[in-house]
Structure 1
Amino acid sequence: MSSHHSHQPLPGSERTMLPGARQMGPVKPEEPMEVSVYLKARGSAKALEALANQLPGQRQHLSQAEFAAQQGADPDAIAKVEAFAHEHNLTIVDVNPARRVIVLAGTATMMSSAFQVELHYYEHPQGHFRGRTGTVQLPADLIPIVEGVFGLDDRPQARAHYRRLETRAAAQATTAYTPPQLAALYDFPTQLNGQGQSIAIIELGGGYRSSDLRAYFSRLGLPLPKVVSVSVDRGRNSPSTADSADGEVELDIQVAGAIAPAARLVVYFAPNSDRGFLDAVTTAIHDTRYRPSVISISWGGPESTWTAQALQAMDQAFQSAAALGVTVCCAAGDGGSSDGVTDGRAHVDFPASSPYALACGGTRLESANGQVTSEVVWNNTGKGATGGGISDVFALPAWQVGAGIPPSSNPDGRVGRGVPDVAGDADPETGYQIQVDGQLFVFGGTSAVSPLWAGLLALINQKLGKAVGYLNPVLYQQLAQTSVLRDVTSGNNGAYQANPGWDACTGLGSPDGAKLLQALTGTQL
């Protein structure tokens, strides 16, 4: 049997005080809690290397059943965590071998004893939360098998990457597009509608109103998409005001739904914590009911604000998505090359910085007579700019080696994963017309680019008859010499300048939908 004396720190679990937070006192002993214990992955690297060297039409992705059998949690590892739970009187709420997660419940006193942590309430400008500092402790025999323990600390983990023009500014906007207008400018295929596809949308707050969706799609002359809400960790569709996260939720649904109106949109609502975020993503990836082929994520935060265990667990989840043929699109952030951090260094946003995410940067798009007249890096000084740069966490992927990824602008000059991979219109001054809480607004931000790309990929998946899946290696390797993306060569996001080819502002460029479709499917519409 384990004992407190045999506990050891779980590598990567260390938490520090959230800047600006004030400790309010210890958590109530009987407060009910749940945690998600994620187990380490097994056997995915070689399979993903093989996928990276193939075009989508050649790939054989794993089925959910095959994945669970080959890469799901080891039964012995599950048994060890269950024994640990019994020893500490914790209730086993759920065991999901495919997601490699075990959900445990108990009181704050039980959790503090089991994981050797002190839990306190904190007050912060973003709200009250339960938190911890230091490391999570586990028995020595669990250390080699546990990826991370999430839920002890429920501080806000991510922010929504959208920017909304104020009403007066919106009326004076240089341009405000509907998503179908942007689809036309980017030459998205018009004969496809996403039939048979499911697009997963991850939301960590806010909600949508059916009345907004009906009015919006009616105004566009499009059928109302099928929208399904899925509750994760008791998150739910909870609309309030246009100044809340409702803007994010409505933006994601309306952009993806306008691009692929026949696709099913599955919105996974979860609390804004590292546990909620991770659980929402793994639930979507392994959803055997709705089976999304694309995931759109418009939330994130600087790599420096995540624990190492959370970075690793989310990256492992995205690797699972790649094995299953699910493309994960992530907004690259709206805080320029600093990602909103005020330490004078450059930062990139996570989860966009995972090598298994299609990181989506932002541009300013101007047009006339249905043609693009200018596309430059989005950078409204002091009002938002596309994220992008060099990861401080993830190594340079093999498929980016020939892309001319520069050293980081930070003093260490690190060469790592370059962000973003692709781009699209994100400047609020050339933004998206979106309806929120009964009103029309103009939105921008890289939040809009993720569902834009997700919608395009749903169309391509429809034509291909199978999922594109892990797109990054294809864009950088097999399609490196093609013109399937529109190179953006002017502008900067602070520390990084746009230039021909890949750059840390707009990646490889914005989409040419028809050319990308032809390249990935071998057909032209």
Structure 2
Amino acid sequence: MATTPPQGYKRLNGSEREPLADSHSVGPVNPDERIEVTLYLRAPGTENLADRISEQVQQKRPPLSREEYVATQSATPEDIAKVEQFAREHGLTVVSTDPVRRRMVLTGTAAAMSAAFATELQQYEHPGGLYRGRTGPLHIPEALDQIIVGVFGLDNRPQAQPHLQRYALKGITDRAAAGTVSYTPLQLAQLYDFPTAPTNGSGQCIALIELGGGYTTSDLQTYFQQLGVPLPTVISVSVDGGQNTPAGNPDSADGEVNLDIEVAGAIAPGAKIAVYFAPNT
């Protein structure tokens, strides 16, 4: 763990990490292991996006158009060029660059990544499985200070877990006698005065982020048929190898994936639903 920045480097704010509870290091990662990281770059100093959105909410300014966003919020060519030079100097390859999202994806060996960001990568054993991790902060060259604001992917520890709860068999009769109440998404929409007329979401797309589990079209058809709502258009999108992989296990993430789709699809049945599946890291 490098806690003191090497010469010519600065600590990357907010990058500190500690091992997961109940985990322990079983040794360094294979130095030849290929790793892909995503760098998040700063916004240009032309306009503060949070201030602009606040003014929009207060109706002091019109909504920000896509063209305005691209012109005012994209990463600058100068910043991108500096990161490209940094990658070359450390034997890393630039896989993709997206100025609008201010995102650059780099790949390289574990050894090269460790040297580039002045950290030590270890393999950790955890009740949930093995993961690659680190402790302490990352470091970046002083020339990139304030340009790189986030580095993601060096540490691939699990980030989320399902929190579904099921009724135990014991006591169900007592709870039923007490008058347990449940609500459909349509009833919840009414209770919260969710606007359903005159629009039903047609022409819009709802994005859902899922870090595991999956859905089947047959399950969705059954649900929406029973609810009396047309089956919405649902597509799955793979991010970094994540896939729609339903486990068919009530203790898996399937329940939360289906719940997200069912609530969104019931309240806005005309909207297209894009389910983004990504690794839980």
TM-score (norm 2): 0.87
Of the candidates 91, 94, 118, which is equivalent to residue 92 of structure 1? Answer: 94
Match of 2:270 in 1: 262
Equivalent residue for 1:222? 229
1:76 aligned partner, one-letter code: E
TM-aligned CA deviation for residue 146 of structure 1: 1.1
Aligned partner of residue 43 in structure 2, secondary structure? coil
Between the aligned partners of 2:225 and 2:58, the Cα distance in structure 1 is 35
How far apart, CA to CA, are the structure 1 residues paired with 2:10 and 2:52? 37
C-alpha deviation, 1:159, in angstroms: 3.9
1:248 aligns to 2:256 (yes or no): yes
**Alignment equivalent of 2:51, drawn from 49, 52, 61:** 49
> How much has 1:6 moved relative to structure 2?
2.5
2:108 corresponding residue in structure 1 = 106
More RCO (CA 8 Å, sep 6+):
2
Deviation per CA, 1:459-499, whole angstroms, max 9, x where unpaired?
xxxxxxxxxxxxxxxxxxxxxxxxxxxxxxxxxxxxxxxxx
Q: Give a deviation string over 1:170-191, Cα, whole Å, max 9, x none.
A: 9837012221222233344453
The verdict on how the C-alpha distance between 1:104 and 1:46 changes in structure 2, with shifts beyond 3 A counting, is: closer
The reply on whether 1:186 has 2:192 as its aligned counterpart is yes
Q: Which residue of 2 aligns with 1:165?
A: 166
CA distance in structure 2 between the aligned counterparts of 1:30 and 1:237, rounded to whole angstroms: 30
CA distance in 1, matches of 2:223, 2:203: 23
2:27/2:123 contact within 8 Å kept:
yes
The alignment partner of 1:133 has SS state of: coil
Counterpart selection for 2:78 from 76, 79, 90: 76
Structure 1 residue matching 2:236: 3-state secondary structure: strand
Alignment of 1:309-458 (within 5 A): none
Give the Å deviation of 1:246. Answer: 0.8
* 2:182 paired with 1:176: yes
Deviation at 1:239, TM superposition (A): 0.9
Q: CA deviation at 1:51?
A: 3.8
TM-superposition CA deviations, 1:148-207 (whole Å, max 9, x none): 1111111122344x5333374498370122212222333444533111111111111111
In structure 1, what is the equivalent of residue 219 of structure 2? Answer: 212
| CA separation of 1:43 and 1:112: change in aligned 2, threshold 3 A | same
1:228-279 Cα deviation digits (max 9, x unpaired): 1111121121110221111111010001101111111111111222xxxxxx
Letter matched to residue 231 of structure 1 = S
Offset at residue 48 of structure 1 (A): 3.8
1:120-169 deviations in whole A, cap 9, x for unaligned? 11111232210001221222111231101111111122344x53333744
Q: TM-score, normalised by structure 1?
A: 0.48
Determine the structure 2 residue equivalent to 1:375.
none
Give the alignment of 1:267-278 within 5 angstroms: 267-273=275-281
Distance 1:50 1:78, change over 3 A: closer
Partner of 2:204: 197
Q: Please list the CA deviations of residues 98-134 of structure 1 after superposition, one character each: whole Å capped at 9, or x if unmatched.
A: 1111100011111112212111111112322100012
Note closer, same or farther for the CA distance 1:182–1:83 as it changes in structure 2 (3 Å cut). same
Contact 2:232–2:270 (Cα < 8 Å) also in 1? yes
Unaligned stretches of 5+ residues in structure 1: 274-525
Matches of 2:194 and 2:12 in 1, distance apart?
A: 47
CA drift at 1:62: 2.7
- The amino acid that maps onto 2:136 is G
Q: Which one of 22, 28, 32 corresponds to residue 26 of structure 1?
A: 28
The 2-side partners of 1:106 and 1:144 are apart by 23
CA distance in 2 between partners of 1:116 and 1:33 (Å): 15
Deviation at 1:50, TM superposition (A): 4.6
Letter of the structure 2 residue corresponding to residue 94 of structure 1: S
CA distance in 2, matches of 1:55, 1:116: 42
SS at match of 2:187: helix
Secondary structure at the aligned position of 1:176 is classed as coil
Q: Distance in 2 between matches of 1:72 and 1:200?
A: 22
Specify whether residues 264 and 166 from structure 1 end up closer, same or farther in structure 2 by C-alpha distance, changes over 3 A only: same
**Structure 1 partner of 2:13:** 11
Aligned to 2:41: 39
- 2:192 and 2:147 map into 1 onto residues whose CA distance is 46
**Percent sequence identity over aligned pairs:** 54
Note the C-alpha offset of 1:208: 0.9
**Residues 40 and 150 in structure 2, CA contact (< 8 A), matched pair in contact too:** yes
One-letter code of the match for 2:167?
A: E
Relative to its length, the structure with more strand (as a share) is: 1
Give me the whole-angstrom Cα distance separating, in 2, the residues matched to 1:231 and 1:158.
Answer: 18
Deviations 1:338-397 (A, max 9, x none): xxxxxxxxxxxxxxxxxxxxxxxxxxxxxxxxxxxxxxxxxxxxxxxxxxxxxxxxxxxx
Partner of 1:279: none
SS at match of 2:182: strand
Q: Give the 5 Å matches for 1:104-183.
A: 104-160=106-162, 162-166=163-167, 168=169, 169=172, 172=176, 174-183=180-189
2:120 partner letter: E
Q: CA RMSD in A?
A: 2.3
User: Is 2:37–2:106's contact at 8 Å kept on the other side of the alignment?
Assistant: yes
Superposition map of 1:472-483 within 5 A: none
